[in-house]
Structure 1
Amino acid sequence: MRRLDRHYRMESEVPRAVIEPPMIPPFSPAALLGRDRELSELLALVRQAREGRSGTLVVTGGAGIGKTALLDRLAGLVGQGVRVVRMVAAESEMELTCAGLQLLCGPLMSSSDDLPAPEREALESAFGLRGSDAPSPLVLSLAVRDLLTRAAGAGALLCVIDDAQWLDDVSARTIASVARRLSVEKVALVMASRQEDPRFDDLPHLVVEGLADHDARALLRGALAGSIDERVADQLIVESRGNPLALRELPRSLGPSELAGGFALASSIPLESRIEQSLLAQLEPLPAPTRTLLLLAAADPTGDTGLLWRAGAILGIAPENLDLAQQADALVVSGRVSFRHPLIRSAVYRSATPAERRAVHAALADATYEDRDPDRRAWHRASATVAPDEAVAGALVRSADRARARGGVAASAAFLERAAGLTPDPDVRADRMLAAAEAKLDAGAAADALRLLGTTRDLATPLQKALAGRLRARAEYALWRDRSAPRHLLRAAQTLEPHDAQMARDTYMLALTVAIYASRLGEPGATEEIAQAVLAATAGDRSPTAGDLILRGQALLCSEGPAVARSTVRRAITAFQTEPVGPSDLQRMWIGGRAAQDVWDADGLRTLAERQVQVARSTGVLTVLPMALNLLMVVRTFDGDLDEAERICDEIDAMLLITGHPLPPYGRIFIAAYRGRVEEVERRAAELRADAHARGEGYALTVANMAEALVYNGAGRYDEALASARGELPYAHELGHAMRTLLELIEAASRVGEGTLAEEALEQLTRVTPPQGESDWADAFMSLAQAQLREGDEAERLYRRAIELFDRIRVPMLRGRSQLLYGEMLRRQGRRVDAREQLRAAVDVLTACGMTGFADRAQRERNATGEKVRARTATTPDALTEQELNVARLAREGLTNREIGARLFISAHTVDWHLRKVFTKLAIKSRNELHVALPDPH
């Protein structure tokens, strides 16, 4: 350890007498100055938990600002009845999936037997205690929350996480999800972080700033053994910016001349580095074996005393060195080994030479039991290895597989990248680097994926080059929404064709999908070019499998139109319904669900959406599940169940917060449009348009236009509806929402006297719908569109046909709109009695669906017929909050508190709390009365 010794000596040339005063005790509660406000807020959080209301605070502030001191003080003041669970995250473990959760939950796992089986299994899978698929992030967060609830017991729980900025991504997102779902579990969750962390952005924050001048001076005086020149004190106050650790530590690194007159005091070194230097200078007098022990402890954040003793024995470190480290006030041993301050850990680790770090990591690897913690052992072994070593690389690859199985894609990428660097064989090394780049991309780190791809320029095989091209196109699209990405993906697919037919077809599908979503903002003609290339590549293909059929069917939709594609797409939908489906089929099935809408197959859409979600849930494919749920949300809006559609959006949002994968809020804007929330739609539409240009995703423009047209038509603002809808007329051939916006265009145009424009829209709609008799959905849609442009008996016949067909295919919201339009026509004709019949039905069905804007419009028309309608009194359910309403509906269906909690991702305690409030508001005493007090709108 001589080099470490030399490094410490070089840190400071100040006389020994200056740096030898006794160290200040570890942030004694009595020494906390100027923190009354912060401590009061933290204690209020604990008091709130005692009273039955959980809460969270993210404490932020720079290194040494006093966060750890506050946490120490808080833990010492909570008193009896409050259990305290603490952990400190470590920078060295950021790449280890669920490492933070394991440190947090490990001491509590004895209570895991009381958890529901899915939750217990999720925890065990996350911690590598069982071999299974990646746990659902929602179930995992629910399991952690319930584990903390059980730890609170009859009292309360204070859960403290220090250095939260070093949490691995899965742990951070899971803990954030838990924080969002805490309600009445009596848990106070406090996280300390050096800087704002986007993973915790939406949680309550407490910012810790520098001490006020008078408190800073008092702390400085207490940190000095003797007097100090007033000008030097002023300069230290200014330079420290009120940072308590700086005020304590910086004076100890100054010599007598500097303390007396401030000579040579100025330094351009950042404050955090200067604090670290001061801390290291105080450790310099320790014997080399003691400093090696400190480095061992810094390299292993688990704080496992047994592991530390075993590793120390390997390095020949005697037990008395732990006593010396404690006496020097560097280490604290209380069940676990920890550092007096997190900065000491980072300072010790960073100051060591690479050889010294390798030595302690090698000892830790040897001391770690492989059967208990193979991933940490592999990581330590890799950190101790410089030259290529297949045994070490192979162990990292196995760790990567385990990490991915537990949902840790980012950790898998880190293991694979390190494995590639230690792989002797060039071809195998290239394969592993490509796998690492793909894992980085799947984890949302497109820039890192491109960086890794930049190291693979000397690829040996054509397959490797093709895979690299595919990954590069995906990464560039993810990072910059590169307009040329679809064509790059096309070339990658064509290059893959001779080497891996299935991968080539998956890449063709990806190229086609990216081109469809880019649409008008992408390169002109890209969609058609890719579709033609797919058709050429699959020419003569008679494969009956769903994946092959949907690839060709989607290409036909893009190049030849629905009339030619209809047969192939419907065969694909049938195959998806009958074939066994696994995780690898989910992306293709999602394309099938989208295509079902374009060929007007309502039953196929419902079946595929429901089956896709079921498969994604059961297999734990988290990357596809949000998209699958989005398709199911569309189905639920067709079903007229906007409450369920909104609940699905809640689930999607919760999942995206945990996984970090982006997905534009298309569902939210459509639900707002159906609900008649004009201002929300306008706000979301503006955001979507800005996002569309930033992401290069023209599909978002279509969504914004259709949502605006829909909500404006509901509000009777036809000029504005026309302005939004007419932008989709040139793109109706793209199908999807552009095609369905034509109905909104026809309604708006016919109301403002734009008959020619309405007829043009009807002509476009006719081109993209099947002939009459092939699809009830298409026939109903066309009947409603035509009825608005016809008169007399013909219009009446068409309206009645639309009402009948929409009822047959179970699309109540369009049945209600058909009855509204029919009733409005009858009223204009002076047939008030007939109009009332249709408008009355329209009000009922549109209200039941939650389509407030259209329901109000129907009510106004009904009033205009002269019918006296009894004033609608505010029903009691209107007083319920959204969450209370969700809980009440599920309780009405007969679900238990635990089942409701699992569905809504809240605890059984929270469900009971909500139900008690529901009973009070509805003036009922039991669940049995919910059927009367809260009738089912359907």
Structure 2
Amino acid sequence: MPDIAPLRGRRDELAQLHTLVDRARAGRSGALVVSGEAGIGKTALLDHLTAQAAPHVRTERIVASQSEMELAYAGLQQLCGHMVGSAARLPAPQQEAIEVALGLCSAPAPSPFLVGLALLGVLTEAAEDRGLLCVVDDAQWLDQASARALAFVARRLDAEGIALVLAMREADEAFARLTPMRIEGLGHEDACELLRLAVPGGLDRRVRDQLIAETRGNPLALRELPRALSPAQIAGGFSLTGSLPLESRIEQSLVVQLAPLPEPARLLLLLAAAEPTGDPGLLWRASAVLGLGPAAFDAAKDADAFTVGTRVGFRHPLVRSAVYRAASPSDRRRVHAALADVTSAEYDPDRRAWHRAGATLEPDEDVAADLERSAVRARTRGGAAAAGAFLERAAELTPSPFRRGQRLIAAAEAKHDVGAPTEALRLLESARALPLTPLQEALAARMRARAGYALRRDRSGVQNLLAAAQGLEGLDPVLARDTYIEALAAATYGGRLGDAEQVTAVAKAILAATPAAEETDRARDLILRGQALLATEGQEAALTTLRRAQRAFLEQAPDFLELHWMWFASRAAQDLWDPAGLRALAERQVELARSEGVVTVLPIALSLLMLVQLTQGDLDAAEASCDEIDIIKEVTGNPLPQYGRLLLAAYRGQAEAAERSAERIRADGRARGEGYALSAANFSEAVLYNGLGRFADAVACAWRELPYTHELNLAMRTLLELVEAAVHTGEYALAEQALEQLADVTRPVGTNYALGLLAMAEAQLRSGDESEDLFREAIKRLEQERISIWVGRCRLLYGEALNRQGRSTDAREQLRTAHKVLSACGVHGFAQRAADELKACGETLRVHARASAAQLTEQELNVARLAREGLTNREIGARLFISAHTVEYHLRKVFVKLGIKRRTELQSALAGLTLAASSP
């Protein structure tokens, strides 16, 4: 290994690295991405860092290998496989997740984010005593699953005492948001000194300056390229210009230096380059298979190419790649065959399968089947990307065209699951010319439709999904149902930006293909048929089936597909004006998604729960749900639009934030062809402007939804806002039209919620006793449902009507109650409307100034809210994707800032706090 002499020209970089380690020793964490071209000095910096940090902090260092990129969690195994004993102290779901990921136990595939959280826990335990430095060199070669887990940890580091340093050539997307350190070439003076040390006899000045210019001060190039120069070149300055990239020229120089070695020593180096784990026992056993003795080891070590100690290592990562790339294909196959022979089929079957594939030239079903089994194991461990690579290579080595097609389709599905639809379509194209069974043809069509829709959310996507679903009928009914739901969801959410006829076409196809409701009790069958009835025949026809579907989702233990589609049942509860059903379904889906670690489902479930919390007047809880959604989006990249933030800002009367958010959501909806986004923006702005008393603006937003109320959901809810705004602006014909359409979507349902809102809307257009009776009916129904915001808004409207009639005493009674309810909910625009109307009645309210939580950061407020609910530090950490140490750190700061000493005081301390930073 390189000696640890002082580095020239790297003072600032070393200072930044050592600051990171000093912070870890003090209990604070951080991550740094060190990037730069090959040979620029990243490894030398890491050598210095680890050597100087080792006496002060625990140090773990690995070098990722290109040949390991297709093995799920191979990098994680190297980094923390020996630490996994501490996982026993983690919550059970996290412990299971990391043990499954590392192949230590069998269980369903773990959520990648549970693996990331478990990794954070394991590293936190390792940092407990004196801090931890984790160094990953050549991180560009990390397998995707390990890279994702490390990126997750890096983004969540805070108060654990962990310093994480990742060195790579270019910071890829996974690490793009981490603190960067770009390493550039040495300055001229330092480069000259390095050349002087590398070429003791001295270089011609022109050669020296040309080398420095061509290498751009790259230290490895300056050290290695002169070794490949002839004496005439060194002395006379003949042209050095080459057409190869610098990295290739460095590798070429290294190969030239190793060329004089005896053939057995070169083969030994190739063997070490092909075996990335650095296991010396494995290297000795494989070398014996190839007949390589001690003389080969001695020659390789004398050439300063590699070292053999507790691990096998090269003096620079480029030596490994240079050796492997320079080898002939036949020699590569020889060393992979030897490594496959000595790799345990019991303890390391996937690496053995990969070596066997590397040793195989012609199709071989035995090797292909071995790779397919590895793909299954990779899937089980949550490594869909690895499964795709195994299956693609298995397809290449499959003799039977029928089996090859099957494996190509499976590989395409794995590629699609990791967000690579273009790669999926490429593999499916390769399968077109192969003889496929009817089921394989149907599966390929389904994958083409799903990948195509992921790339282009256009009309053809819905058509292709529908055709794929119909093709699966009679072949795989469960998958057919799932595909039908995808088609219906795509058509429904496309709405006005898609093709209205498509919703009907998909729904009719579903009704023709699925069993009648009385013939099934499966949740997914019922919700599929119920939604199809809703789209074609309306609420009344769908009511019984949809309510059975809701009960089935609540009472049955759902499989993965049903958990994924439970949100469709929640949407049905919204369309049926059923807040209790919506709450039960949303809470159930949130509970299941959390307990099973299905983080892909959780944001949608939380967004539905947020709607319930909002409707029932618990805006603090709704904001906490939005916070959790944002945290999940940050760590997963989930593209779910911020509908919740928009609605919160609207109800709170935050005009600037709501208008800005609505503009973004409209643009995003149009770009994605999602009409639901336009409903969300129009509805939210109508709520905002009604709350602020800007009724003309509310009309301008709400009337846009009149042609689309058949889409139900937020479009039909906008009718309430339109009635209120149009009455205030004197546009009674428009208000009557909106009322008529509202009656069409509420009377068939007949719930207290639906009929209460209908009565409230109609009361505004009637007069005298009829109006008063309708207001009282609405208040009674809404109070029975405990829908606080609408109770407050109804009393506000009733008070305003009474005041217009000159009944100021009766008006004040309604308005006081309205103000109290709306203020308690945090609906400040409507509360201010009530206060203004009271003032017009001759009564001035004493408005208590609300405390400010601006001194709390957003993360501190998140932690404080969950602690207030009684969650432990570990539970809070799991909810917020941070470590228990970080939770404790934030809670200490919360206590100091709020002037409290115990968790029991959080309830009163947080009451009425506002946080400016939490607005969208």
TM-score by length of structure 2 reads 0.93
1:8 maps to none
1:411 maps to 386
Output one character per residue of 1:272-312: Cα deviation in whole Å (capped at 9) or x when no partner.
22222122222222222222222222222221222222222
1:740 is aligned to 2:711: no
Output one character per residue of 1:814-842: Cα deviation in whole Å (capped at 9) or x when no partner.
33333343344445555555444444444
Whether the 8 Å contact between 1:583 and 1:615 is mirrored in structure 2 is no
What is the rounded CA distance, in whole Å, between the counterparts of 2:631 and 2:295 in structure 1? 50
1:895 is aligned to 2:859: no
Output one character per residue of 1:717-764: Cα deviation in whole Å (capped at 9) or x when no partner.
444433333322211111122222222333333333433333322222
The one of 402, 408, 412 aligned to 1:437:
412
Change (3 A) 1:515 1:252: same
1:544 is aligned to 2:520: yes
SS for the counterpart of 1:135 is coil
Q: Which amino acid aligns with 1:496?
A: L
The one of 44, 47, 60 aligned to 2:19:
44
1:714 maps to 691
Q: Which amino acid aligns with 1:64?
A: G
Output one character per residue of 1:83-133: Cα deviation in whole Å (capped at 9) or x when no partner.
111112222222222122111111322433333433322211111101011
Map 1:803-882 to 2 at 5 A.
803-862=779-838, 865-875=841-851, 877=853, 879-882=855-858
1:424 is aligned to 2:379: no
1:591 maps to 568
Whether the 8 Å contact between 2:93 and 2:595 is mirrored in structure 1 is no
Whether the 8 Å contact between 1:163 and 1:192 is mirrored in structure 2 is yes
| Post-superposition offset of 1:478 | 0.4
Map 1:165-176 to 2 at 5 A.
165-176=140-151
SS for the counterpart of 1:468 is helix
What is the rounded CA distance, in whole Å, between the counterparts of 2:182 and 2:577 in structure 1? 54
Change (3 A) 1:841 1:407: farther
Whether the 8 Å contact between 1:90 and 1:167 is mirrored in structure 2 is yes
The one of 892, 901, 905 aligned to 1:929:
905
The one of 107, 119, 131 aligned to 1:132:
107
More displaced 10-residue stretch of structure 1: 657-666 or 196-205: 657-666
1:576 is aligned to 2:553: yes
Whether the 8 Å contact between 1:362 and 1:384 is mirrored in structure 2 is yes
| Post-superposition offset of 1:585 | 1.9
Q: Which amino acid aligns with 2:84?
A: M
Q: Which amino acid aligns with 1:216?
A: A
Whether the 8 Å contact between 2:628 and 2:879 is mirrored in structure 1 is no
| Post-superposition offset of 1:671 | 3.4
Change (3 A) 1:646 1:930: closer
SS for the counterpart of 2:547 is helix
1:632 is aligned to 2:609: yes
1:289 is aligned to 2:264: yes
Number of aligned residues: 911
Output one character per residue of 1:856-895: Cα deviation in whole Å (capped at 9) or x when no partner.
4444545555544445345365533333233333333433
Map 1:164-203 to 2 at 5 A.
164-203=139-178
2:221 maps to 246
Change (3 A) 1:900 1:287: same
Q: Which amino acid aligns with 2:302?
A: Q
More displaced 10-residue stretch of structure 1: 791-800 or 369-378: 791-800
Map 1:229-378 to 2 at 5 A.
229-378=204-353
Whether the 8 Å contact between 1:162 and 1:191 is mirrored in structure 2 is yes
2:918 maps to none
Q: Which amino acid aligns with 2:449?
A: A
What is the rounded CA distance, in whole Å, between the counterparts of 2:535 and 2:221 in structure 1? 65
SS for the counterpart of 2:590 is helix
Output one character per residue of 1:386-417: Cα deviation in whole Å (capped at 9) or x when no partner.
33333322222222222222222222222222
1:80 maps to 55
More displaced 10-residue stretch of structure 1: 621-630 or 727-736: 621-630
| Post-superposition offset of 1:445 | 0.8
Change (3 A) 1:499 1:34: same
What is the rounded CA distance, in whole Å, between the counterparts of 2:639 and 2:130 in structure 1? 39
Q: Which amino acid aligns with 2:792?
A: G
What is the rounded CA distance, in whole Å, between the counterparts of 1:807 and 1:339 in structure 2? 74
Change (3 A) 1:702 1:285: farther
Whether the 8 Å contact between 2:134 and 2:165 is mirrored in structure 1 is yes
Whether the 8 Å contact between 1:563 and 1:770 is mirrored in structure 2 is no
1:211 maps to 186
| Post-superposition offset of 1:472 | 0.6
1:503 is aligned to 2:479: yes
Map 1:650-729 to 2 at 5 A.
650-729=627-706
What is the rounded CA distance, in whole Å, between the counterparts of 1:307 and 1:594 in structure 2? 57
What is the rounded CA distance, in whole Å, between the counterparts of 1:431 and 1:107 in structure 2? 38
Change (3 A) 1:460 1:233: same
Q: Which amino acid aligns with 2:605?
A: A
TM-score by length of structure 1 reads 0.91
Whether the 8 Å contact between 2:586 and 2:605 is mirrored in structure 1 is yes
Q: Which runs of 4+ in 1 moved over 6 A?
A: none
Change (3 A) 1:659 1:894: closer
1:157 is aligned to 2:132: yes
| Post-superposition offset of 1:486 | 0.8
| Post-superposition offset of 1:596 | 1.8
1:766 is aligned to 2:734: no
1:449 maps to 424
SS for the counterpart of 2:257 is helix
SS for the counterpart of 2:719 is helix
1:226 maps to 201
Whether the 8 Å contact between 2:517 and 2:526 is mirrored in structure 1 is no
Map 1:362-401 to 2 at 5 A.
362-401=337-376
| Post-superposition offset of 1:156 | 1.4
Q: Which amino acid aligns with 1:352?
A: A
Change (3 A) 1:706 1:579: same
| Post-superposition offset of 1:58 | 1.6
1:18 maps to none
Whether the 8 Å contact between 2:81 and 2:102 is mirrored in structure 1 is no
Change (3 A) 1:652 1:418: farther
1:556 is aligned to 2:533: yes
Change (3 A) 1:537 1:277: same
1:480 maps to 456
| Post-superposition offset of 1:451 | 0.5
Change (3 A) 1:137 1:835: farther
1:67 is aligned to 2:37: no
Q: Which amino acid aligns with 1:669?
A: L
Q: Which amino acid aligns with 2:501?
A: G
SS for the counterpart of 1:879 is coil
The one of 109, 124, 128 aligned to 2:84:
109
Change (3 A) 1:883 1:229: same
Unaligned runs of 5+ in 2: 914-920
What is the rounded CA distance, in whole Å, between the counterparts of 2:542 and 2:77 in structure 1? 52
Unaligned runs of 5+ in 1: 1-24
Change (3 A) 1:50 1:853: farther
Whether the 8 Å contact between 1:484 and 1:523 is mirrored in structure 2 is no
Q: Which amino acid aligns with 2:65?
A: A
Whether the 8 Å contact between 1:787 and 1:794 is mirrored in structure 2 is yes
Change (3 A) 1:338 1:673: farther
What is the rounded CA distance, in whole Å, between the counterparts of 2:841 and 2:46 in structure 1? 69
Change (3 A) 1:881 1:280: same
SS for the counterpart of 2:519 is coil
